[in-house]
Amino acid sequence: MPLFLLDRDGVVVVNRKDNIKRPAGLELIAGAAEGIARLTDAGISVAICTNQPEVARGVMSREELDAAHEALAGMLAAKGARIGRILPCICDRKTPRMKPAAGMLREALAGYDASAADTPFVGDQLDDLKAAFHAGCPRVLVRTGLGRKALERGLPQYLQPVAVYDDLAAAVDAHLGNHAGGGGIPPTP
Ligand SMILES: [Mg+2]
């Protein structure tokens, strides 16, 4: 199944210092809902893979996280944007599931019976690109969230090609252009 994978914070919703613990703290990045809606209209499933270590740290409960994700899905649905699964990794130490490892992305790919090579992962941090690399997904960095900082620090050569766009809306447009044979997100080598 065609699938598009997203990081949450800095890609779909605005980053907050306190890392968005409540539905009231969710603020959509401009154009993100409209971009996801274009994927929905194109028949492409969209899922989110997000590290949320605050749960293991006891800062928020799993129930609170699930409530925030339900609220997020509702905010997007109101704009015609359908989010399928929201997969969180709630560990607070490195695990094979937690980004920069590939486990969470692989789980999403398997859940949709999607091929990694055809499924871009859009993130705003180096760990997102690394997870995409390890999963075999095309790597996309957006300049929203922490993306601009990550670019300034420089991206390791092994992660290339990395497609860079101003925001999720632009990444979606490039991806949909791919389908029509236009230039867009480069495939994994
Ligand atoms: Mg992020």
Structural domain contains residue 165: yes
| Residue 143 within any structural domain of the chain | no
Q: What is the pLDDT of residue 3?
A: 98
Enclosing domain of residue 101: 3-120+161-179
Q: Is residue 30 part of a domain?
A: yes
CATH for 32 = 3.40.50.1000
Task: Work out the pLDDT band at 178, boundaries 50, 70, 90.
Answer: low
Chain centroid offset of residue 83 CA = 11
pTM (predicted TM-score) = 0.94
Residue 151 lies in a domain: no
- What is the structure's pLDDT at 188? 79
Examine the residue annotation and report whether 127 is marked as an active-site residue of this protein.
no
Span from the CA of 80 to the centroid of ligand 1 (angstroms) = 23
β-strand partners of 36: none
Angle at 148 between CA 95 and CA 51, to 5 degrees: 20
Tell me the residues surrounding ligand 1 (ion) with CB < 5 Å.
7, 9-10, 124
Q: Is residue 136 part of a domain?
A: no
Ligand 1 centroid distance, CA of 123 (Å)? 6
Q: Note the pLDDT tens digit of each residue in 18-56.
A: 777 788 889 999 999 999 999 999 999 999 999 999 899
Residue whose C-alpha is closest to residue 132's, from 124, 121, 141:
121
185 within domain boundaries: no
For 105-123, the pLDDT digits (tens) are 999 999 999 999 999 999 9
Q: What is the mean pLDDT of residues 165-176?
A: 96
Count of domains in the chain? 1
The answer to the question of residue 156 being in a domain is no
| Residue 7 among the catalytic residues | yes
Residue 63 lies in a domain: yes
User: What pLDDT is recorded for position 43?
Assistant: 96
Q: State the sign of the Cα–Cα–Cα–Cα dihedral 173, 178, 179, 182.
A: positive
**Residue 183's pLDDT band (cuts 50, 70, 90):** low
* Pair 103, 64: CB distance under 8 Å: no
Q: Which of 7, 124, 128, 167 is catalytic?
A: 7
When pLDDT is averaged across residues 177-181 and rounded to a whole number, the result is 59
